[in-house]
Amino acid sequence: MEVGVVGLGKMGLNIACNLKSHHYDVMGYDVSEQVRENGKKEGIRMYHNLETMIQAFKERKVIWLMLPAGEITEGVLQTLMKTLTKNDIVIEGGNSNFKDSIRRAQAFKELGIHYFDCGTSGGISGALGGACTMIGGDAEVFKEIEQIFKDISVENGYLYTGKSGSGHFLKMVHNGIEYGMMQAIGEGFQVVSQSEFDYDLAQVARVWNHGSVIRGWLMEIAQQQFMESPNLEEYRGIVAASGEAKWTIETALDMGVAVPTIALSLFMRNLSQEDDSFSAKVVSALRNGFGGHTVVKKDD
């Protein structure tokens, strides 16, 4: 099967390599010449513009988008509406707002093109070695491409979530939970670090990650980050918010559902823009560890 990947940054390139390792005929496009060169080095057939890549398909076109939510994704989807043909497939794997996904799915449906909103988790390592995917869209057409998600996802790591918008909705809530978990870890380590006891924070993370109730991948990342930087000296406690927690809170408010932990975690990220706190340093280090997110370091 031919699959075209649009947007080959940290996540997109690894998705493309993951597909290639499962013997898909992968082609790619990115606006950046350097990114295109990176793709070529990985054996991906790269194209200098989107239209040329689409014309290269010999069979039904399957386009996987891995782009930042907002105007960039919207612009590419508008181009695809003009260049794809009936029965082609678009998989939008970024973190778009689920309301946008519902609107886009309807617009593509009117053209006879199938649109799937695919929440993608697992960070850059998961994108390469086994992602977690949550897919919304037409149930019958999903069966035709289900093998793609089975192949690139970790075992038991993909879910058809239902109608259009449901995939990105689920990923939105997932990211809201993630905000709360990372904030709790950061605050806990701040209490430990400022206590009267002389703890090795890497070893604290190690023991907590073996048999304790709070064990997990984030704790594993915490151990690795503390091993590399015992007091996170090179990090500043400034943590960006990418939007999903805000959408989760707004949606919860519309539904009349209380989400105080997620709300406070978002407020703390906003506060981190002004306050260089140790808990924010921990969250910044965790984000860098699992997703390669840009961090602000001391001398930046």
Q: Is the pTM of this model over 0.85?
A: yes
Catalytic option among 20, 61, 92, 171: 171
For residue 79, name the pLDDT band (cuts at 50, 70, 90).
very high
Residue 4: phi, psi to the nearest 5?
A: -100, 130
pLDDT, average across residues 139-144: 98
Tokens of 46: 């790269």
Instruction: Judge whether 171 counts as a catalytic residue.
Output: yes
Catalytic option among 20, 61, 92, 178: 178
pLDDT of 1-57, one tens digit each? 999 999 999 899 999 999 999 999 999 999 999 999 999 999 999 999 999 999 999
Q: What is the pLDDT of residue 230?
A: 93
pLDDT of 156-178, one tens digit each? 999 999 999 999 999 999 999 99
- Side chain identity, residue 293: H
Tokens of 208: 């907590």
For 161, the enclosing helix (H) or strand (E) is strand 153-162
pLDDT of 265-300, one tens digit each? 998 888 887 756 788 788 888 988 887 776 666 555
Q: What is the CA radius of gyration of the chain?
A: 20
Q: What is the pLDDT of residue 202?
A: 97
Cβ-based burial of 74 (10 A; exposed 0-12, middle 13-18, buried ≥19): middle
Q: How many helices (H) and strands (E) does the chain have?
A: 13, 8
pLDDT, average across residues 251-266: 95
Which of 86, 84, 5, 91 has the alpha carbon at shortest distance from 46?
5
Do 137 and 27 form a contact (C-beta atoms < 8 A)? Answer: no
For all residues of the chain together, what is the average pLDDT? 93
